[in-house]
Structures are given as C-alpha cells and as structure tokens.
Amino acid sequence: MMLELIMLLLAGGVVAWQSERFNPNLPRWIAMATVILGMLLLLSTISGIPADTFNMVTEPSKAENWLLYSRHEWIPRFGISLELGMDGLSLLMLILTLALGAIAIVSSWNEIEFNPGLFQANLLWTLTGVIGVFLALDLFLFFLFWEVMLIPMYLLIAIWGHENRGYAAMKFFIFTQVSGLLMLLSIIVLAVQGAGDGDISFSYGDLLGSAPTGKAGMLTMLGFFLAFTVKLPGFPFHTWLPDAHTQAPTAGSVLLAGILLKTGAYGLLRFCIPLFPEASMQFAPIAMTLGTVGIIYGAVLAFAQSDFKRLVAYSSVSHMGFVLLGLYAWNSLALQGAIMQMVAHGVSTAALFMMAGALQHRLHTRDMNRMGGLWYNAPRMGACAMFFAVASLGLPGMGNFVAEFLVLAGLFAVSPWMTAAAAIGLITAAIYSLWLMQKTFQGKPDEERKLQDFDRREMGAMVIMMAALLWLGLYPQPVFDLTQPVLEGLQPLIVNVPETLAGNIPGGTP
Amino acid sequence: MNEFVAIAPLLMLALGATAVMLQIAFLRSVRLTAVVATVSLLLASASCFYANDTAPLQVGALLQADTYSLLFCILFTLAGAVTCVLSLDYIQHHGDEPEEYFLLLILATLGACVLAYAVHLASLLLGLELLSVSLYALIAYPNRSLLPLEAAIKYLVLSGAASATLLFGFALLYATTGTLHFSELGTALEQSDMGAALPMAGAAMILAGLAFKLSAVPFHLWTPDVYDGAPAPISGFLASVGKAAVFVVLLRLFLEANLFRYERLVELTGLMAILSMLAGNLLALQQTNIKRMLAYSSIAHIGYLLIVFMVCLDLSNRDIAIEAAAFYLIAYTATTLAAFGLLTLINEKRVEREQVQLQHVSGLFWRQPVLAGLMLVALLSLAGIPLTAGFIGKFYIFSAAVSGSNWILLAALIIGSGISIYYYLRVVFYMTKHAEEHKDAIELSPGWSGKALSCLLIASILVLGIMPQSLIAVLGSIL
C-alpha cells in the first residue's frame, strides 16, 4: 500500500501537469482527485488492519510489529533497500499530510493563472516527498525523500512566489540542503561504523543501538540534529523560514507550515533521539534551552512584524519551540504534547496562511498597516480569523491548548525553571495573536473598500479545520491512543534516564 | 591474434579515422562524415565487449587490456559519439570546412582510449599528446571568431609547459629506476631507498603535469578562458573525456607503481582536492557566463574526485575508493555532456560569440520545456541532488571518505557542495522567469537529433540515479 500511495501521488502530478494542455481548470481537479484517492487508499488499508494491532507496542527493530511493513532490495552493494514501515505515528502524519494537501489545493483554487498544471504537479510531488519521509525506514531512502521534496518546493516558491521569491527560494534550499549534507555524512558514519566488519546496512532496525559512543556519538548526532532543527525550525536556524513563508504562494505556505516543518519534528522523534540515546541525553539541556529561547524569541519577533505572513511565520518558530521542548523532555506527557502540537499547529497555521493568502488575493497586500476594520467588510473572514487566532494563542478547548499544556506538564517533571520560562510563551502568544486581530479585522473600517467575503469553497475548508481543532481540543484521546504504543516502543531505547530526561510517567495518557 | 582482439577498440578508432579521411578526400559532406564518425565511435564502443573475452592481456610493453581500461573505453567512445551528434548542427554554422572536425574528434577519442589502456609512461605520453594536439585544433576550429583562437593558443602554450614538466618527471623516474613501465617502476622503487628525493620529485612533477590537464587548483588558470572560447560541444568533451582520461591514467599510475608509498605526495593531492573544491566553487559564484560557471564547477568536481587518492592511502579502503572514482567519473561524464549539450543547442545559430549569459536562458522553461528539463536534471545532478547520477557519485565519495576517516576533506566537500547549490540554482531560477521578464532571451529551434540526444542523456542520468545497482554490480565485479 505504501509504495502504491507514493506512486499514486507521483503519477497524479504527472497527469495534472499534462492535463493543462486540454483545459487550464483540469489540473486542480485532478490534483484534488489524487489526494482524495490517496486518502481513500490509506483509510481502506487501515480499516483492513485488525483493531488490536493498533494497541500493540511497536518495537522498532522488529519488522512484524509495524502496522504495515514492506521491504524490497534496491542497492545491495551498500545494504540499501526500499524499506517502508507505518506505525501509529506515521499514520497520524500521513493523515495530516493528505488533509492539508487537500486544503492547500483548495486554498490555491483560483489563485494560480500561470502554468496551473505544473503548479499542481509540484504540489503533489512535494506531498510525495513528505509521505516518503514519514514512511521510510531505510536511512538512505529517508535522506532521498528528505532532499527530493525540496525541489518541487523550491520551484513552487521560485516560480509562483511573490516579489522577492528568488532570494527566499534560494535561502530555503541552501539551508536545508547544507544541513541535509551534514545529516548524510552522519548517516554514512553511522552505517559504516555500525557495520564494523560485517555487511553495511542503512536499515533503521539494524542501526538502532549501534551509535558510536562518546565524542564521536555526539558529533554524529549533531549532524542529524542540525538537519532536523533547521527544518523544524529551531532557534537559531530559523532565519530561512520567515522569508520562505512570506514569499511562497498560499498553497506553498500551507504546505511548508503545515507539513514540511513537521518532518523535522518527526525526524527528531523517529531517528535522532532513538538512534543516539546517549548523546541525546547529554545534549537534552542544550536542545531544551534552544526550544525555550525559540518560544520567546519567535513570539517577540512575531509581535514586531507588520507583514501578516511574516507574523504567522515567526509564530511558527515560537510554537515549534514547544515541540523541541516536548521531544527532549522525553516522557509520555511531553511527547504526547509534542505530537499533538505537530498536528494542531499544522492545522491552525495552515488556516492562518490560507487567511493571509485570501487577504492578499483580495487586497494585494500583506501589510497589516493597510488593513483594519476588515470584519465590517467580510464578517465570515473575521470570524474565521478570530477562531484561528485564539486557537493559536492556546485557548482551552482547542488542540493547541492540549498540546502546550501537556508539554509544559511533562516538562515540569524534568526542569521546572525551563517550564516557567516556556510558559511565558503562552502570554506572548496571546499578545501577538490578538494584535494580529486588532490590526486587521478590528478598528475603523475603510468605507471605500470592496472586499469579497469567503465563498463556499473557502468556508468549507475553514469549517473542516475548525472542526479538527475543536475535536483535538475536546476529545484528543484517539490521537493519544494511536501514538501511545509507538512511544512505549521508543521510550525504552533510552535507559538509565538521569535527571535531564525524566523517567516514564506511568499511565502517560491523560 | 588475441592481442589484436584485445586492442580492438583502438584499432576500430584508427580505422574510423582513416575511413573519415578517405571519405573527405572523395566527397565533402558534413552529414556523411558525421554519420561515419558516429558509427565508427559506436563500433569501437561495441568492440570493447568483444575485446573483453581476452582480457586481461598485456599487449606489447605499452598497453594493457583489462576490464578497467575497457570500461573507460566504452565511456569515452560513447561520449565521443554524443559529442559528434551534438556538433553536427553546431559546426555547420561555425566552420568553413567542417568535415575534418570529426576526424579530429575521433583522434581525440583515440588518445583518451590509449590513456585508458596505458601501463607505460611512453604510452601515457602518446595518448596524452594525441588527445591534446587534437584538442588544440578542435578548440580553434570556428576560425571566423577570435575567442576560440585565443583559447587554443592559451591551451597550447600552457599545455606544452605541462608536458615538459611531465617529461622531466619521467626522466627523473627513469634515472633512478631504469624503467618506464608502471608496475616495474613499482618494484624498482621498492628496492631503491624509501626516502630518495629524486624519484619523489619525479613523481611530483608527473602529478603536476597531469594536474594541469585535470585543471586542479593551483593549475587551473587556463580553464575558464579555454572553456569559454572553445565551441560548446568541445568544451563538453574537454571537461568530460579530457579530464576523465587523465584521471584514469593518473589513478592507474599511482596504483600500479604504488606511488601511494610517498605519503607526502598523496597529501599534496589532498591539498589540491581541498583547494579545488573551495576555489572552484567560490569562483563559480562570481560568474554570469554559464560556460565559465561550468568551467569553474568542473574544477570543483575534480576536487571531489581527488579525494579518493587520500582514501587509497589505507590499503583496506582501496576497493571502495576505486569504485567510487569509477562511478563518479561515469556520472560526471554523462552530466557534463548533458550540461554542455544544452549550451550547444543554445549556441547553434550564433556565430560571433560563444558566450551564454544567464539572461539568455531566461524563461527557457516556458519556451523549450524539454531543453530546460535537461538543464534542470543536469544541474541537479551536478549539485548532487538525489534521484540523479551525481548524487550516487557523491554518496560514493562520501562513503569512501568516511571509511578512510578523511574528515577535513569531507568538511571541504560539504562546504563546497553548499556553495555550489547557489550557482546551480541561479540558472534554474533564470530558467523559470516569467514570460515578460526575458527580453534578452534568444530564439531556439533545436533539431530532432539534439532533442533526442538530450532525452537520452536525461534518461541515463536518471536511470543511474534511481537504479544504480546494475552499474554498481558491474563495477564491483570488475574492479
């Protein structure tokens, strides 16, 4: 199924691209159909899996423990195979990816006039790469998807971006590519020394527990950490993000914020920490400090922006700081919080970027100083913006609150001071989110302005995202149930956890 | 008899050259000459498989037919054939009597193949000079413009100096050992004093002479001017075959004469590698002329390749190092030919100037999607992005260097690759500019042969990148 899903999206891209010759409206329909087909394929496959498999604790090194697993020989010379595996975490990420992919297509429905076929193709190819990242178990294959998804994303920004697109696209590509090369180096070091005198292998299962110790282990781990934190993005490697977000077309921003950033968090959780337990343990205080600094720094910078998209971009830096904190606190509560943050942030930020795109499409500006009183012109947009702004600031009842609360609760057992500092982020989030609302939708309306309110298509997308956030906030248990076995499988990999990485809090699910 | 079979590719090329000469004498027709030349190059390539039955076989004192030489013979003859096809439309617009051009191209390929076969300093020199002398003439072939002449003179003078250095090195080696054969050199050096300054100086001079041909820093100064001035297909040939052949023979010399015993000398190659990676990439950043940019990037790629010499120092890693070099050379040759192939197609109709500026490719994506696709794949392969041959090559070099624990070289490799992304992507960015922005763009109408060849090259780069296992298996079994 997994290979088929990847192929489906790849082929859908090619078809969408070529269909432009017949009718410029065709590509978006084909892209939509492809994503929906992919979703159906995914759902039909999971409905075929016996329900109790979902509760089984996945031991990552054993093939039979994955929900889905497939392996084909590829480059035997280096022990590289097409090894794909899906567990609860991957499944959650896949659903998020496909859902936000559909949202991205909806958000760009009328926006793209220049070569719509190639646009939709690049969109689908980005999704292909991301899905590959979430499924790959062979580290070589993982790296391949990791890099390949950059190219369509680069093209999305470079071709359909805004005024300063060349600079932004280049910066995005160079940051991720160079950090990716460091990760490639680490992957090879890990595989070569893990092999010893035996056969070399890039398989995740084989490499678990074979990390070098001491300084070498730390350096190798840093290669992974750097690649993932650049993508996350964690402070101080975030500088590419505001530019890329601001210049990308709406759908590009939705994909970037909603999914691409999550690959970084996923990589940390799946690869960086489990592969290097010892080094990660030593490094945890630094990583958590970076997370805390990121939360506050991102929030402060977000407040200083007058560009709608830039503000949301910096708020992402702030929110992803919570993910970094949650991951390195490494207890059930915090990890569940981090995963929940990945999903909730994906949805809420995607919605805010869609809002920004809709505003730019209508007003031809992203400058908040030229907005104000928009609620009067477009009440439906205002209501939606209000909803997602308060979701983003962490109002109880929405997914973001659950996520941030869990991270802080889990973190408190590890480092109370860090928790106190990170909690400031909740206050600053309230400030910039409400500031955003104040500047754009409230205030004195401009009577002259004609603003078309959200139509049915846009409202539909918004309502779906609102429902998702409310569901995550009010009844998050299904998500926890899905990922709990994965975490229980991963957590024993780090044994003898000293004070920095607190032990397992029993009954982690709240 | 077996010996003739063993050198069948060389004989085939010599025959091809003669046939072209005779054909020109009786009937001047560019198309016919191109066909004869291409066919003889392809036949030579096919005859490598035939020659493989007798390998390994020592032919006389000078040549050695083994899988290593045959593998690269196939590569060089195929590259020669590609260059022939690419040149066809181009040379009709640029030269007065273009038929001899193909003759020279066959001779240059013959020189490259001799280098692949060479196990003797004499055959090394023969092959090298055959290659270089043909290239002088090829570079200067478009005789109606000034730039190619300048380039050829520059190449001639500097190359002459390099050859002189090389010969001096031969003399020094001969003075101490009394032999010119690679492996006999190895045994003779074994018996002489280890620290003897004379043979080491000789080896260093040979290295310098060959490094000039490879255009490794600090012997690179001629490269941008010559690439810029030469006809685009010849620049591609020079950058791919011209360098690969020299690299092949240099590697064989080091292996068979075991020059790795001089650790200082090998460290010099490491230094050259670092300098080439950094200087090549940094200088490529400054260029707005795509040909010059590719020239500097080829310097950087030689830097990546030179890493394998340091890896070879440790005997246990020698296998993977040689394999890495072979794969990289193949990937690099295909990619470089593809990149210059596109420049050829762009240049076709323009007689006076050879330069292709960045703004000339502006909006190419929307005007010529196929060509732009070729350029995109070629550039991504040069940059080492996954799914292309260049990535597998880079992966090989990474693996080899990690096995050899050459961390400084790896650092330079990563920094160099990071820089290179910028200038490769800049071309992609220009190609994707929207319609209203490309006023400077030039009209293009490539012929079917150019387009078909482009597709073939894209396909081979992608196949090597996605399914490299068969080539890897071949390399693993023969090296």
What pLDDT was estimated at residue A75? 86
**Does residue A382 belong to any structural domain of this protein?**
yes
Flag if B399 and A154 touch (Cβ within 8 Å). Answer: no
Length of chain A: 510
Residue B350 has pLDDT above 60, yes or no: no
C-alpha–C-alpha distance, residues A257 and B443, integer Å? 40
For the cut 70, the answer to whether the pLDDT of residue B354 exceeds it is no
Contact A181 B432 (CB under 8 A): no
Q: State which residue of chain B sits closest to A173, comparing Cα positions.
A: B421
Query: Using the beta-carbon criterion (under 8 Å), do A78 and B399 form an inter-chain contact?
Result: yes
Is residue A96 in a domain?
A: no
Residue A195's pLDDT is 75
Tell me the mean pLDDT in the region B387-403.
91
- Mean pLDDT calculated for residue range B41-62: 88
Q: Give me the helices (H) in A196-307, please.
A: 204-207, 214-231, 240-247, 250-255, 261-267, 273-275, 277-303
- What distance in Å separates the CA atoms of residue B354 and residue B222, rounded to the nearest whole number? 17
Q: Please, is B326 exposed, middle or buried when counting C-beta atoms within 10 Å of its C-beta (0-12, 13-18, 19+)?
A: buried
Q: Name every chain B residue with its beta carbon within 8 A of the beta carbon of A144.
A: 386-387
Task: Check CB contact under 8 Å for B385 and A147.
Answer: yes
Neighbouring C-beta atoms of residue B444, cutoff 10 Å: 15
Residue B404 has a pLDDT of: 86
Identify the CA nearest to B94 among candidates B35, B28, B149, B153. Answer: B149
**Residue B341 pLDDT level (bands cut at 50, 70, 90):** confident
Q: How far is A62 from chain B (nearest CA, A)?
A: 26
Segments forming the whole domain that contains residue A470: 294-510
SS3 content of chain B, % helix, strand, coil (to 5): 80, 0, 20
What confidence score (pLDDT) does residue A68 get?
A: 85
CA distance B238 to B393: 20
Q: Which residues of B lie inside 8 Å of A (Cβ-Cβ)? A: 366, 380, 385-387, 391, 395, 398-399, 402-403, 410, 414, 417-418, 421-422, 425-426, 428-429, 432, 434, 468-469, 472-473, 476
Q: B429–A148: do the CB atoms touch at under 8 Å?
A: no
From the CA of B318, how many Å to the nearest CA of chain A?
15
Nearest partner of A488 among A473, A509, A468, A472, judged by Cα:
A509
pLDDT at site B439: 55
pLDDT at residue B446 greater than cutoff 70: no
> What pLDDT, on a 0 to 100 scale, did the predictor assign at position A505?
40
Number of domains making up chain A: 1
Please judge whether A76 and B414 are an interchain contact, meaning their C-beta atoms are less than 8 angstroms apart. Answer: no
**Looking at residue B94, what is its pLDDT?**
67
A274 belongs to a structural domain: no
b/e burial code for range B395-411 (CB count within 10 A of at least 16 → b):
bbbbbbbbbbebeebbe
Predicted local confidence at residue A501, as pLDDT: 43
Sign of CA dihedral A497, A503, A504, A509: negative
Angle of CA points B85, B90, B94, to nearest 5°: 140
- Domain assignment present for residue A253? The answer is no
* Nearest CB to A192 within list B366, B402, B414: B402
**Domain assignment present for A356:** yes
Look at residue A11 in the predicted model and tell me its pLDDT.
92
Q: Give pTM, 2 decimals.
A: 0.91
Q: Quick one: CA dihedral A222, A224, A229, A231, positive or negative? A: positive
In a domain, A9, yes or no: no
Determine the average pLDDT of the residues in B136-153. Answer: 84
CA pseudo-torsion sign A394, A399, A400, A402: positive
pLDDT recorded at residue B271: 94
Euclidean distance between CA atoms B84 and B96, whole angstroms:
17
Helix or strand (DSSP H, E) at A84: strand A80-86
One digit per residue, the tens of pLDDT, for chain A of length 510 reads: 788 899 999 999 999 888 888 888 888 899 999 999 999 999 998 888 887 777 777 676 676 778 888 888 888 888 888 989 888 889 999 999 999 999 999 888 888 888 888 899 999 999 999 999 999 999 999 999 999 898 999 999 988 888 888 899 999 999 998 899 999 999 999 988 877 777 788 888 888 888 888 888 899 999 999 999 999 888 888 899 989 988 889 899 999 988 999 999 999 999 998 888 888 888 999 999 999 999 999 999 998 888 888 999 999 999 999 999 999 988 888 999 999 999 999 999 999 999 998 888 888 888 888 887 888 888 888 899 999 999 988 888 888 999 999 999 999 888 888 899 888 888 889 999 998 888 888 888 776 777 788 888 889 889 999 999 999 999 999 888 888 888 888 877 776 444 444 444 443 343
Contact B472 A182 (CB under 8 A): no
* A170: contact with B, CB 8 A cutoff: yes
pLDDT in tens, B33-44: 999 999 999 999
Q: What does the alpha-carbon distance between residue A376 and residue B254 come to, in Å, rounded to a whole number?
A: 79
Going by C-beta distance under 8 Å and a sequence separation of 6 or more, which residues neighbour residue B258? B186, B189, B190
Q: Which residue has the tokens 């200083």?
A: A304
- Model pLDDT, residue A499: 42
Do residues A249 and A111 touch, judged by C-beta distance below 8 A? yes
Is the CB of A431 inside 8 Å of chain B's CB atoms? no
Q: What pLDDT was estimated at residue B246?
A: 95
Q: Kindly state whether residue A238 falls inside one of the protein's structural domains.
A: no
Q: Residue B436: is its pLDDT beyond 70? A: no
CB B292 within 8 A of CB B230: no
Paired with A80 in beta bridges are: A75
Q: Residue for token digits 């969408």?
A: A16
For residue A34, which of A110, A149, A124 has the smallest C-alpha distance?
A124
What is the predicted ipTM?
0.90
Give the model's pLDDT for residue A163.
84
Q: Reply yes or no on whether the pLDDT at B278 is more than 90.
A: yes
B442: confidence class by pLDDT, cuts 50, 70, 90? low
Say what the pLDDT of residue A503 is. Answer: 42
Cα gap A168→A488, rounded to integer Å? 40
SS3 (DSSP) at B289: strand
Distance (Å) from the alpha carbon of B7 to chain A's nearest alpha carbon: 31
d(CA B207, CA A339): 57
Residue B241 pLDDT: 94
Compute the 3-state secondary structure of chain A and give helix, strand, coil in percent, each to the nearest 5: 75, 5, 20
pLDDT of residue A52: 75
Q: Which pLDDT value is given to residue B445?
A: 61
Instruction: State both tokens at B257.
Output: 């004469």
- pLDDT for A287 equals 92
- Least confident stretch, A55-59, B282-286, B380-384: A55-59
In a domain, A286, yes or no: no
